[in-house]
Amino acid sequence: MKTSVFSTLAGHAKRQAGRLWALGLAVGLAASMAGSGPADAHGEKSQAAFLRMRTLNWYDVKWSKTSLNVNEEMEITGKLHIMDAWPVAVAKPEVAFLNVGMPGPVLVREGSFLGGKFVPRSTSLELGKTYEFRVLLKARRQGRWHVHTQLSVQTGGPIIGPGQWVEIKGDMADFKNPVTLLNGEVIDLEQYKIGNIYFWHTVWFIAGVAWVFYWFRKRGFVGRYISVASGKGGELITPLERQIGAGALAATLLVVIISYALTASEFPRTIPLQAGNIRAIDALNIPESPIKVEYLRGTYKVPGRELVATYKITNTGKEPVRVGEFATATLRFLNPDVYTQKVDYPEYILAERGLSLSDNAPIAPGETKELTVKVQDARWDTERLADLAYDVDSSFAGLMFFFTPSGARYEVETGGPVIPEFLPI
């Protein structure tokens, strides 16, 4: 008796909680719908600062077009540097997949290439190496979309590259995606067997809804829960319901077996979806840089959004060099004394005057100089990299680009721990 009183009370409390939960959900949904404009981004800033700065660096990224028609192709090319500073918290990129990040399949990926090799599957990449990449895309849905490259790393998740707005004109209804099968037949992937897909989704949707409704119509979920909790679970299911349950199981198995046999006889030669790892990707053969960079110390000023890093730099080359750029987590901080012309790069991640030096004179051949590099821009904040001040391991990393008067460029990975400063000093 006692049990059933408690169960009834518990049931009541659960019903109340259920109602509150449903009310909360409704209010939440209404509030988020009322407050939302068109979505401009797709979570690229939500990843931890250390993950974006210290795993990899995309550079020389080019979008061949930013405006195209449905069915037209474009490509994204550039270099991908896998950082030596790769954090221990993330598994090394031994299973990594080159992909694109965009709001759904607005373009289809026709092919991706790493080190010149076609990589439709996962690959293994090595720390400290730089790879050339190319992604070939074909416009599918009209609209204005933010298109990124991205590397999906097992256990690390997708690590997103810079995004560019791409305008697609035309109508998705005209989109064609022809592929030649191994038997020579040409099919349009966009429409191939689409009727079958709708048919099977409808069949299983109806079966699922009918199944849930059949069991729900008598007492509902809470009523059944109370019966089970008060020890009357055995009386819940009638002999007729048992028979119907067994019939549903048999019918499901029958439908699966028969339809599978029919499909197998219609398409006797099939191969499974290909998975696995493509190894031996050629890294770029970058000649050793004549510039030796030793990181001495650094601070990150939270209120000023500025990273101040001091280096000991030795130039063992034949030409004087100047620091022209610091790139991290898709952001580019440029030294306006070196970059005198406009750079074609998405504005939201380009700080054209973001880098300044304690001494602007070039580092002469054979010279060793202590140089303080100031990387300052509001984009530290807007791209949420300022979070590095709150990391358990407040360390930054990125690529520093050096330039010579003859136009040579040297990229050097730099970084290290920084001391955060919270008050303006």
Residues that bind Cu ion (CB under 5 A): 41, 146, 163
Nearer residue to Cu ion within complex by CB, 163 or 354 = 163
For 133, phi then psi, to 5°, come to -130, 160
User: Residue 390: is it exposed, middle or buried by C-beta count within 10 angstroms (0-12/13-18/19+)?
Assistant: exposed
Q: How far is the CB of 163 from Cu ion (least distance, A)?
A: 4
Nearer residue to Cu ion within complex by CB, 383 or 387 = 383
Q: How far is the CB of 148 from Cu ion (least distance, A)?
A: 5
Q: How many CB atoms lie within 10 A of CB 403?
A: 20
Q: How far is the CB of 42 from Cu ion (least distance, A)?
A: 5
Nearer residue to Cu ion within complex by CB, 11 or 162 = 162
Q: How far is the CB of 393 from Cu ion (least distance, A)?
A: 27
Q: Which amino acid is at 99?
A: N
Q: How far is the CB of 259 from Cu ion (least distance, A)?
A: 41
Which tokens go with 211? 């199944």
In a 13 Å sphere around the CA of 268, the CA atoms on its Cβ side amount to: 1
Q: How far is the CB of 106 from Cu ion (least distance, A)?
A: 12
In a 13 Å sphere around the CA of 55, the CA atoms on its Cβ side amount to: 28
Nearer residue to Cu ion within complex by CB, 140 or 146 = 146
DSSP state of 306: E
Contacts 24+ apart (CB under 8 A), 342-346: 345/61, 345/162, 346/162, 346/163, 346/164, 346/165
**CA–CA separation, 40 and 324 (whole Å):** 31
Nearer residue to Cu ion within complex by CB, 245 or 346 = 346
Q: How far is the CB of 145 from Cu ion (least distance, A)?
A: 9
Nearer residue to Cu ion within complex by CB, 41 or 249 = 41
Whole-angstrom CA distances from 59 to 11, 195, 232, 327 are 59, 44, 66, 8
Nearer residue to Cu ion within complex by CB, 149 or 414 = 149
Q: How far is the CB of 371 from Cu ion (least distance, A)?
A: 34
- Sheet with 306-315, side-by-side order of all strands: 355-357, 368-376, 306-315, 291-301, 419-421
Q: How many CB atoms lie within 10 A of CB 178?
A: 10
Nearer residue to Cu ion within complex by CB, 61 or 373 = 61
